[in-house]
Amino acid sequence: MDQGTERAMQDSNGMDDGWIDPPALSAFAAAYPARAVGLAHRLTNHPLLRLDALAALAGRLPDDHVEHSLGNLAVDQDPDAIARIAAHPADIVRTIADNGCWMVMKKIDCDPAYTALVDTILAQLAPVTLPATGRHQRREAFLFLSAPDAVTPFHMDPEHNILFQIAGTKTMRLYPADDPAIVSAEQHEAFHRGGRHRNMRFDPAFDAQAETFMMAAGDAVYVPVKAPHWVQNGPTPSISLSITWRSDASDRAARLHRVNHRLRTLGVTPSPTGAAPHRDAAKIACHRAVKALSGAARRAVGRRRDRVAY
Ligand SMILES: [Fe+2]
């Protein structure tokens, strides 16, 4: 267990039940890590999640931790056709009810005011997550603000994620992470190579596999790693908190897809992930060894890695 989780578990000893309702925690335990599940939480009136606190946060975050655009997007959105307004992030937060925008504030757990909150939530999850998928890695928290009726297009994310609805309503439609008719092996491999926009092509035929969550303030949804989804905001401004983490399990899967991508570029068709566990383990061990060596070589010559990959 990392120090942050340990400290937060100590801090949360004084809490009666925590930020997630105990029955919801039992449902989470039954679903984690593979299945999506709806949960209930108690963060709705937290002072750090009110609009004035979020405007102050947007004003002090580094520029590259804030992304925004107009929210009138399609589920099947062309990433090159997304527009944004010229305004200061704090002003976009204050006027979210009328400005038509979608905004994400990234890595808010790096802000001292929010670190303890994120630690405490993860500590409440730890008795479920740590035995199932290993220690929390690359923990990150995001705040999403969206104008009425904004759409977050079809995409998938590389982390385990719990999305907490703080204000407003939204409809979240989730698709299975392991259906090759929705996301092919080649798409998984390209995703882990990085460099592509996160939005993916959507086919309405995918809806036959979908699970829909109608979220209001006090609701949350656990989203499994790389479960594709899109989100439609309701008729009022929406505030959502997303707490994410990687795990030993998600790290192994990512390494496996990167090795399979390399094999494919060499003209070899790799066996599907999970079909041959011993071969998968050998690929993962090989990837770790090669990355350790190349990392050491880069450090020796003072070069940094500049490509972002999942
Ligand atoms: Fe997402």
In sequence order, the β-bridge partners of residue 197 are: none
* Domain residue spans of the chain: 3-247, 251-300
Q: Is the pLDDT of residue 135 over 80?
A: yes
* Residue type, position 85, single letter: I
Ligand 1 centroid, distance to 161 Cα (angstroms): 8
* Residue type, position 205, single letter: A
Helix, strand, or coil here: 239? strand
| Out of 48-62, 78-92, 245-259, 260-274, least confident range | 78-92
60-64 contacts, C-beta under 8 A, 24 or more apart: 60/111, 61/89, 61/105, 61/106, 61/108, 61/111
Q: Is the pLDDT of residue 1 over 70?
A: no
Q: What percent of the chain has pLDDT over 70?
A: 87
Ligand 1 centroid, distance to 277 Cα (angstroms): 29
Q: In terms of Cα–Cα distance, which of 169, 187, 153 is closest to 310?
A: 187
Q: How confident is the model at residue 282 (pLDDT cuts 50, 70, 90)?
A: confident
CA dihedral 131, 135, 136, 137 (to 10 degrees): -150
Ligand 1 centroid, distance to 300 Cα (angstroms): 37
Helix, strand, or coil here: 86? coil
Q: Which two tokens stand for residue 20?
A: 């997630």
183-188 contacts, C-beta under 8 A, 24 or more apart: 183/156, 183/226, 183/228, 185/257, 185/260, 185/270, 185/272, 185/273, 186/264, 188/226, 188/257, 188/273
Q: CA 57 to CA 144: how far, in whole Å?
A: 12
Ligand 1 centroid, distance to 230 Cα (angstroms): 7
Q: Which CATH class is domain 3-247?
A: mainly beta
Ligand 1 centroid, distance to 258 Cα (angstroms): 21
Q: Which two tokens stand for residue 60?
A: 């002090």
Q: CA 252 to CA 214: how far, in whole Å?
A: 32
**Per-residue pLDDT at 197:** 57
Ligand 1 centroid, distance to 250 Cα (angstroms): 16
Q: How confident is the model at residue 237 (pLDDT cuts 50, 70, 90)?
A: very high
